[in-house]
């Protein structure tokens, strides 16, 4: 047949017989030691509150994009922050710069860390910043928990886009062609990277960003320095921009008087997620209603708006440390309240009730997973129960 290139296309059978020999770890030693690395700057006021940035260090091949680029971003952010520390700056909160091993083997390195230190992380982790493929093209993008999206937008307004006089934010808007009244779309957390343990398992807010494009070298031997230096990021300027964003994100989170979560935006995002649930409920005609869920999300939004107004008014003048600490402790509980200790019924390790990876596709996102998995099951009693349970969790988050 004729394809897009100027020669005839063919597919077998043909005269060639191919033989393939596969060598794997079963022929040597199936159990390997793995290594996570950490650079830690202890906070002087709130040392038990943690801001973490991480990238996986392992790769399928040379891994220039996936994930030398992310590792570079983390190490450069650590270097830049350390220069400030040497000059006398100290963060309020503890900053952790991590590289993870064995991500490609099933997100093992970061998951082991999260599970091993789950009590400390549950109590004090402010945010996890993930750098997975930080640079492999010209198009900027970001995503994560809706509570941290406005912070990322604010930061990229201050970082210059590589090779341009405009900010990353301005170029991002042009690249996406977004209307003046809207913001560029951001991705939802699904699975397939090191944020899973932090976000899917413990409910710790997370955010990620990077420069992408039509690479075509994913998980191959062609993901090399040669490809990156000529096509992915000539001059490594996007690597630099990704690291600058990481540095600013870490410093803002570590030194914020009041944690800069945006739960007004979170509530708006949640409201948009109810409509697909309504459409899914119509197909099997379950008789279930999302009215209680909508009411709970609206209450969450009202609480968020009231808090935002009170916070902004308070921060217009000096705030006593005790009042700040009380507010921050309450804020730490908001997204934890949107997790369920027993987890999803199909997958108990996944405790987050807002986003999870789809059980049929580890990279894809499923929103409101407890409810949508119940709809898939066709169990009407379970559908009603899961909607009521999710609404209760939103009411608990509103109370926080």
Q: Say if residues 162 and 240 touch (Cβ distance below 8 Å).
A: yes
Chain centroid offset of residue 271 CA? 20
pLDDT of residue 185: 95
Count Cβ atoms within 10 A of the Cβ of residue 277 and give its class: 0-12 exposed, 13-18 middle, 19 or more buried.
buried
Q: Give the alpha-carbon dihedral of 124, 127, 129, 130, to 10 degrees.
A: 80
Nearest alpha carbon to residue 145 among 47, 260, 1: 260
User: Which listed residue (49, 76, 103, 208) is catalytic?
Assistant: 103
Other beta carbons within 10 angstroms of residue 369's beta carbon come to 26
Alpha-carbon gap, residue 156 to 22, rounded angstroms: 45
Q: Are the beta carbons of 304 and 264 closer than 8 angstroms? A: yes
Q: Return d(Cα 142, Cα 149) in angstroms, integer.
A: 8
Widest CA span of the chain, in angstroms?
Answer: 81
d(CA 47, CA 95): 9
- Burial bucket for residue 345 (CB in 10 Å: 0-12, 13-18, 19+): middle
Q: Name the band, by pLDDT with cuts 50, 70 and 90, for residue 345.
A: very high
Q: What is the average per-residue pLDDT within 14-24?
A: 81
Higher pLDDT, 364 or 154: 154
pLDDT tens readout for residues 101-146: 999 999 999 999 999 999 999 999 999 999 999 999 999 999 999 9
At 57 the three-state DSSP class reads: coil
- What secondary structure does DSSP assign to 111-144, as a single string? HHHHHHTHHHHHHHEEEEEE-SS-BSSSEEEEEE
- Strand (E) or helix (H) holding 49: strand 46-56
Q: Is the pLDDT of residue 4 over 80?
A: yes
378-396 confidence digits (pLDDT tens): 999 999 999 999 999 999 9
Which helix (DSSP H) or strand (DSSP E) does residue 213 occupy? none
73 is written with which tokens?
Answer: 């971003």
What is the SS3 assignment for 219-238?
Answer: CCCCCCHHHHHHHHCHHHHH
Question: Which backbone phi and psi does 165 adopt, to 5 degrees?
Answer: -90, -10
Q: Is the pLDDT of residue 286 over 80?
A: no
112-114-120 Cα angle (round to 5): 135
Mean local confidence (pLDDT), 60-70: 97
Per-residue pLDDT tens digits for 235-250? 999 999 999 999 999 9
**Looking at residues 11-39, what average pLDDT do you find?**
82
Distance of CA 254 to the CA centre of its chain: 18
- Computed from CA positions of residues 390, 395, 396, 398, in that sequence, does the dihedral angle turn out positive or negative? positive
Tokens 């009380």, residue? 326
If you average pLDDT over every residue of the chain, what do you get?
Answer: 94
Average pLDDT over residues 250-268: 97
Q: Can 103 be counted among the known catalytic residues?
A: yes
Q: How far apart are CA 319 and CA 302, in angstroms?
A: 24
Residue 27's pLDDT is 65
């Amino acid at each position: 047949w004729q394809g897009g290139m100027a020669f005839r296309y063919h597919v077998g059978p043909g005269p060639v017989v191919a033989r393939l020999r596969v060598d794997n770890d079963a022929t040597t030693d199936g159990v390997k030691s793995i290594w996570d690395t950490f650079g830690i700057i202890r906070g002087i006021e709130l040392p038990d509150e943690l801001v973490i940035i991480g990238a996986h260090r392992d790769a399928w091949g040379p891994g220039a994009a996936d994930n030398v680029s992310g590792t570079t971003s983390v190490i450069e952010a650590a270097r830049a922050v350390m220069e400030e520390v040497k000059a006398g700056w100290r963060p309020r909160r503890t900053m952790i710069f991590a590289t993870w091993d064995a991500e490609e083997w099933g997100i093992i390195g970061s998951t082991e860390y999260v599970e091993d230190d789950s009590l400390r992380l549950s109590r004090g982790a402010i945010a996890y910043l993930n750098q997975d493929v930080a640079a492999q093209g010209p198009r900027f993008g970001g995503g994560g928990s809706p509570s941290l999206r406005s912070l990322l937008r604010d930061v990229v307004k201050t970082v210059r886009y590589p090779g341009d006089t405009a900010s990353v934010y301005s170029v991002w808007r042009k690249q996406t062609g977004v209307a003046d009244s809207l913001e560029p779309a951001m991705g939802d957390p699904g699975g397939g990277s090191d944020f899973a343990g932090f976000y899917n398992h413990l409910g710790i807010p997370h955010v990620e960003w990077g420069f992408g494009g039509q690479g075509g070298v994913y998980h191959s031997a062609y993901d090399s320095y040669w490809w990156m230096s000529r096509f992915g990021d000539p001059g490594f300027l996007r690597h630099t921009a990704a690291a600058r964003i990481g540095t600013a994100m870490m410093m803002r989170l570590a030194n914020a008087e009041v944690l800069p979560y945006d739960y007004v935006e979170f509530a708006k995002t949640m409201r948009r997620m109810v409509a697909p649930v309504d459409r899914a409920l119509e197909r099997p005609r379950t008789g279930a209603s999302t009215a209680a869920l909508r009411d709970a999300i609206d209450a969450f939004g009202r609480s968020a708006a009231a808090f935002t107004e009170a916070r902004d008014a308070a921060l217009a003048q000096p705030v006593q440390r005790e009042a700040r600490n009380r507010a921050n402790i309450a804020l730490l509980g908001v997204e934890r309240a949107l997790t369920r200790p027993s987890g999803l019924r199909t997958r108990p390790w996944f405790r987050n009730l807002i986003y999870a990876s789809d059980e049929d596709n580890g990279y894809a996102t499923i929103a409101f997973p407890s409810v949508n998995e119940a709809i898939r099951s066709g169990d009407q009693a379970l559908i009603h129960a899961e909607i009521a349970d999710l609404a209760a969790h939103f009411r608990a988050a509103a109370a926080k």
